[in-house]
Amino acid sequence: MDTTSIELRGVNAYLVEGESLVLVDAGWPWSVSSLEKAVKETGHTLAEVDGVLVKHYDLDHVGGLRRLTRSGLDAPLYVAEPDASFLDRTSKPLLCNRKGAFQRLVGVGIRKPSLPVERVEDGDEVAGFEVCVTPGHTPGHVAHLGDEVAFLGDAVRARKGAFELMPSLMSYDAGEARRTVEKLAERFEGGATYVGHGAPVEGASEKLRELV
């Protein structure tokens, strides 16, 4: 499996060549041309992408989707509830929660992508990865676990080769975000992980247990 990290002004997207070609997240609305360029540099085009593993509904992870379709992206989006419904506009983030209210506000800038939204659940397999529902940062956040590598999104962020929790101010439910780290430490036994914010982390399963 080949992973290309695509750094997009403070957030990472990834292109993964494994049993299929998948994009992990889609960056900001304004970073679409950088993402497209990075994909081209791997020798692929967006039209070849078989699916998008969406970690959660936040502007820096889904904001680019709509414009990427104009650049040829034509693949299903794999998303867990309730973030899937926020993305296809069948429901709205809760206003009574600070992060929910923020998602609602920022959601004005997230255009509904014209791509099929496939709902995933805990334990599903997508593109050779096990879906691990990891709520906390958002209610429908997911991680994708492979045998060797995992994509953790914003369940944690990376700093100086270790993990730390996302600031609770940016989380939907800080208690749940901590339980999510325990779940990841139990479920992931591989070494390398890729996160939404920060560099790849090696020796990840051990470092997750340290964070617990």
Contact 196, 157 (CB under 8 A): yes
Footprint on residues 31-50 left by Zn ion (CB under 5 A):
none
Cβ 127 to Zn ion shortest distance, Å: 21
Token readout for 61 is 């992870």
Query: Is 154 among the residues that bind Zn ion (CB under 5 A)?
Result: yes
Closer residue to Zn ion in complex, CB, 36/58:
58
CA–CA gap between residue 75 and residue 51 (Å, rounded): 5
Q: Binders of Zn ion: how many residues, by CB under 5 A?
A: 2
Closer residue to Zn ion in complex, CB, 21/165:
165
Footprint on residues 60-119 left by Zn ion (CB under 5 A):
none
Cβ 47 to Zn ion shortest distance, Å: 27
HEC sequence for the chain? CEEEEEEECCEEEEEEECCCEEEECCCCHHHHHHHHHHHHHCCCCHHHCCEEECCCCCHHHHCCHHHHHHCCCCCCEEEECCHHHHHCCCCCCCCCCHHHHHHHHHHHHCCCCCCCEEEECCCCEECCEEEEECCCCCCCCEEEECCCEEEEECCCEEECCEEECCCHHHCCCHHHHHHHHHHHHHHCCCCEEEECCCCCECCHHHHHHHHC
Cβ 2 to Zn ion shortest distance, Å: 25
Cβ 100 to Zn ion shortest distance, Å: 13
The closest alpha carbon to 31, from 72, 59, 3, belongs to: 59
Give the interface segment with Zn ion, choosing from 28-36, 153-161, 173-181, 199-207 (CB under 5 A). Answer: 153-161
Closer residue to Zn ion in complex, CB, 42/85:
85
Closer residue to Zn ion in complex, CB, 154/173:
154
Give the interface segment with Zn ion, choosing from 19-27, 53-61, 64-72, 76-84 (CB under 5 A). Answer: 53-61
Query: Is 173 among the residues that bind Zn ion (CB under 5 A)?
Result: no
Closer residue to Zn ion in complex, CB, 36/83:
83
Closer residue to Zn ion in complex, CB, 134/146:
134
Among positions 13, 52, 57, 58, the unique one binding Zn ion when judged by CB under 5 A: 58
Residues at the contact surface with Zn ion, assessed by CB under 5 A: 58, 154
